[in-house]
Chain A
Amino acid sequence: MTTTRPLALEVTGLRVEFDGFVAVRDVDLTVPAGELRFLIGPNGAGKTTVIDALTGLVRGTGTARFDGHELLGRPVHRLVRAGIGRTFQTASVFEGHTVLQNLDIAAGLHRRPTTLLRRRRGVPEEVLRALDTVGLDDLADRPAGELAHGQKQWLEIGMLLVQDARLLLLDEPVAGMSGEERAATGELLRRISRDRTVVVVEHDMEFLRNYADTVTVMHRGSILAEGGVDEVQSDPRVIEVYLGAPLDAPTATATARATGRETR
């Protein structure tokens, strides 16, 4: 599972329109293999929409290639089979199923359909490995609905691991997490990005500084800046879109917003 060479994501001229409103325009994005790339930007910048376009949830034009596959215009389940995986801003695990069942369903992608008719006996190898990687071994038999918010996000990441996604697009995975959980998630992202291509949408500057390789800043549907955390943080255009304040200031609002969404 972890021996194959990671692959790069190359997006050029991505554009997404909603009834005449251009949510994403002229986005060129290259994420080299094995990189942990962060995608930031103010509210409504189009970050989620970029992920939606790359995973077949909304229609986008332009090109987006991964592993020689064109991603745009293909149905969701085909993209998943080509190794694209994502999480959502709001955790979406199967709440009535146990952690183990959630992971087992995610692993089904690589099983023959006939295995569906049989009962699950024992725990598949890749599920055990994912349980270990995301640190949910002790909770394997717990219904996913009972997990804490952070644990649900880890379970989602675990599901991407068992489905053997090579490109992971994570939409605000640490929003609403405690400091400890954030650190654990950061380490987890580090570990899994070593042999995968990972794009993370996140606002928290502290988190970015600790874990980002490169940061891409979006604003009003296009890319504003790209580079290391320090480089981006001192970019006057980036400072301007964050209301002229240094980047740490909107972080607080972003976190508050995300937390608000989580406790809603």
Chain B
Amino acid sequence: MSTAERTAVTATRTRGLRRILRPRARLWLGTLAAALILFVVAPAALSGYQFGLLAQFLCYAMVAVGIGLAWGQGGMLTLGQGLFFGIGGYAMAMHLQLDDAGPGGVPAFMSLYGSGTVPAWWEPFRDPWITIGTIILLPAALAALLGYAIFARRVRGAYFAILSQALVAAFAILLIGQQASTGGSTGLSNFRGFFGYSLADPLNQRLLFFLAAGTLIGMVLLVRLLMRSRYGELLVATRDQEMRVRFLGYNPALVKTVAFVVSSVFAAVGGALFVPIAGIISPSDVAVVPSIMFVAGVAIGGRATLLGPVLGSLALSWVGAQLQDNYPSVWSYFQGALFVLVLGFLPQGFATLGGVLRRRKGDSR
């Protein structure tokens, strides 16, 4: 072994040691910092309006965390997470509407647009537990079926992206077409309560924010767990060399489906929490454009890293809201420019900036 080689091996060893010591500390510090920011700093520093906005962004970030897993780790570029966000959101919205209407009551919009009777498929959503079960299980089952069928046919890359986008487009069209039962293009809104708590009460709004913040942190921690598990290693291996994984006796379609299911459930939970926070869910919240926006945040932040998707999504939402308020006409151009710039210079997103700079420095030395 040459000296250079030996140094390299030693370097790997020390890096190995650091890998054992540091993650633990980083985990605790990171979680603590996130909790501090979200549970202490944000409520104190932000105005009521900003606080409400951030709560919405936390819900979008949940979708982003899931996309980070499916796309960043698993290589599945899903442009259709609005489908799952929408299922979660609409399930929650239906429950809130029925809850507001009281036992046996009819949501107001139904009398306005429809026959004035509650459709049979709405009835189960009167029950809070059935609603919560649906928010989690329906997207999981749908993602499992769709995912396995798609991945087993070895649909990958751009084909998968297009397929997922077509699905969400169809979903939005379906929602718009069923005005009597889904509120059509205006969607469902004007919710008064959330599982018995008044949504008008600022304290409850704060609690909702905390619920979203806690859920988001939990999701990031779960993804971290998955990334560091053997499954995480296998998922990345499947992303990089699907054929080889198959020749090791695994079924790559199954490996990918698991990540897709987790990511879809995250999106659905994000949608469900979005509804009481934003006070509305409509086809424009779940259609093609928001589905692409979810992915844009992940791409800008850094899809293959743990924190890239969540931070990228939050940052993009925040900047977007500022610009949209102040310069509504240029916002979409800015967004496109940002996307092109970041991905042109940092194809793996902002999270890789440090590494890229370090390599630059190393090269110039």
Contacts and interface: CB of A to CB of B under 8 A. Distances in A.
Interface of A: 55, 76-77, 80-81, 85-86, 92-97, 101, 104-106, 108-109, 115-120, 138-139, 141-142, 159, 163
A73 to B, nearest CB: 16
B248 A141 contact: no
A120 B249 contact: no
A142 B241 contact: no
A159 B243 contact: no
A94 B240 contact: yes
A104 B230 contact: yes
A81 B246 CA distance: 11
11 contacts: A80-B249, A94-B240, A115-B230, A116-B231, A118-B230, A119-B230, A120-B233, A139-B9, A141-B9, A141-B13, A159-B248
A104 B237 CA distance: 11
Contacts of A55: 247
A81 B13 CA distance: 34
B9 A94 contact: no
B335 interface: no
Nearest to B252: A77
Contacts of B1: 138
Nearest to B255: A116
B344 interface: no
Contact of B247 (A76, A96, A116): A76
Interface of B: 1, 8-9, 12-13, 16, 226, 228-231, 233-234, 236-237, 240-241, 243-251
A141 B12 contact: yes
A92 B249 contact: no
B229 A94 contact: no
A168 to B, nearest CB: 12
Nearest to B231: A116
Contacts of A77: 246, 249-251
A85 B246 CA distance: 11
A85 B247 contact: yes
A81 B152 CA distance: 18
Contacts of A142: 8-9, 12
A104 B12 contact: no
B237 A92 contact: no
B246 A76 contact: yes
A108 B12 CA distance: 24
Contacts of A95: 240
B226 to A, nearest CB: 8
Central interface residue in B1, B13, B228, B234, by most chain A CB within 10 Å: B234
A106 B248 contact: yes
Nearest to A118: B229
Contacts of B16: 141
Contact of A116 (B9, B229, B244, B251): B229
B249 to A, nearest CB: 4
B22 to A, nearest CB: 15
Given A97-B233, A116-B229, A108 B244 contact: no
Given A104-B233, A141-B16, 10 more contacts: A80-B246, A81-B249, A86-B247, A94-B240, A95-B240, A104-B230, A105-B237, A108-B249, A117-B226, A142-B8
B233 A105 contact: yes
Q: Which 9 A-B pairs have the closest CB atoms?
A: A80-B249, A109-B249, A116-B231, A94-B237, A141-B12, A76-B246, A116-B230, A92-B244, A77-B251
Contacts of B234: 105, 108, 116
A92 B247 CA distance: 11
A128 B295 CA distance: 41
Contact of A108 (B13, B240, B247, B248): B248
B231 A117 contact: yes
Contacts of A86: 247
B98 to A, nearest CB: 37
Nearest to A81: B249
Max chain A Cβ within 10 angstroms of own Cβ: one of B226, B231, B243, B248: B248
A96 B236 contact: yes
A86 B249 CA distance: 11
A204 B265 CA distance: 55
